[in-house]
């Protein structure tokens, strides 16, 4: 006969916090690895100098992840290299203010016959970016520049996780532990204190 194991509420919460932290960290790491792969393949296949965009790796991953799924679902005839080129064009257009570099990549996209795919996907990317900015802005957090908000785009793929746990009565310490795990991944370069405030307000918003 198996014995039942009783755990305290604090132990249960600790398990949830660790599980959530692992899932969030995994999502962020996956986003970064996707961006790394996309830029690497574009650089090799099309002779593009785009590795510097890895500076925004995890942040870019938050937007590019959903767009990668979108493009992959449109038409399975696109090669992996073509998808990477299209995503690189979107990354550059959304995150890099250098028209000369953007034009060079767009020219490659046109040569591959991907311009229609690029413009459709870029539109989706801008829509996602705008919706995210409006959502974060609605949390009434003091951001000095719009770029500061965009630096939190790595949160996009983990919003579902935060929504699913919003019913839990997390303490300030619980949120702090989650944020420390996120910061510990080494892929996020923003303020831990501000991230804690953002995550706390997102959880409260979803809980309403």
What's the mean per-residue pLDDT of the chain?
89
Q: Can you list the pairs that 202-207 forms with residues at least 24 positions away whose Cβ atoms lie under 8 Å?
A: 202/139, 202/155, 202/159, 202/162, 203/162, 203/165, 203/166, 203/170, 203/175, 204/166, 205/138, 205/139, 206/162, 206/163, 206/166, 207/166, 207/167
Q: How far apart are CA 189 and CA 191, in angstroms?
A: 7
| Greatest pairwise CA separation for the chain in angstroms | 72
Among residues of the chain, what percentage have pLDDT more than 70?
Answer: 94
pTM for this model (two decimals): 0.86
| Residue 77: band (very low, low, confident or very high) from pLDDT cuts 50, 70, 90 | confident
What pLDDT score does 192 carry? 87
Q: For residue 102, which of 34, 49, 32, 35 has the smallest C-alpha distance?
A: 49
Question: Per-residue pLDDT averaged across 140-161, rounded?
Answer: 81
Q: Contact at 8 Å (CB) between 206 and 163?
A: yes
What pLDDT score does 3 carry? 59
Instruction: Express each pLDDT in 89-125 by its tens digit.
Output: 999 999 888 899 999 999 999 999 999 999 999 999 9
Q: For residue 91, which of 38, 158, 148 has the smallest C-alpha distance?
A: 38
């Amino acid at each position: 006969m198996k014995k039942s194991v009783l755990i305290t509420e604090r132990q249960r919460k600790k398990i949830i916090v660790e599980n959530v932290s692992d899932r969030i960290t995994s999502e962020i790491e996956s986003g970064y690895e996707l961006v790394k792969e996309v830029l690497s393949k574009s650089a090799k296949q099309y002779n593009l100098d785009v590795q510097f965009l890895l500076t925004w790796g995890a942040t870019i991953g938050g937007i590019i992840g959903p767009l990668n799924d979108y493009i992959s679902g449109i038409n399975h005839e696109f090669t992996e290299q073509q998808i990477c080129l299209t995503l690189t064009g979107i990354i550059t257009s959304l995150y890099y203010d250098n028209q000369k570099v953007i034009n060079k990549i767009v020219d490659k996209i046109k040569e591959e016959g991907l311009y229609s795919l690029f413009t459709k996907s870029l539109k989706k990317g801008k829509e996602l970016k705008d919706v995210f900015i409006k959502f974060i802005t609605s949390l009434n957090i003091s951001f000095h520049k719009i770029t500061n908000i965009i630096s939190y785009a790595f949160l996009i793929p983990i919003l579902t996780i935060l929504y699913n746990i919003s019913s839990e009565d997390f303490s300030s310490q619980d949120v702090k532990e989650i944020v420390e795990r996120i910061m510990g991944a080494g892929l996020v370069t923003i303020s831990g204190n501000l991230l804690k405030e953002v995550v706390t307000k997102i959880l409260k918003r979803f809980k309403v």
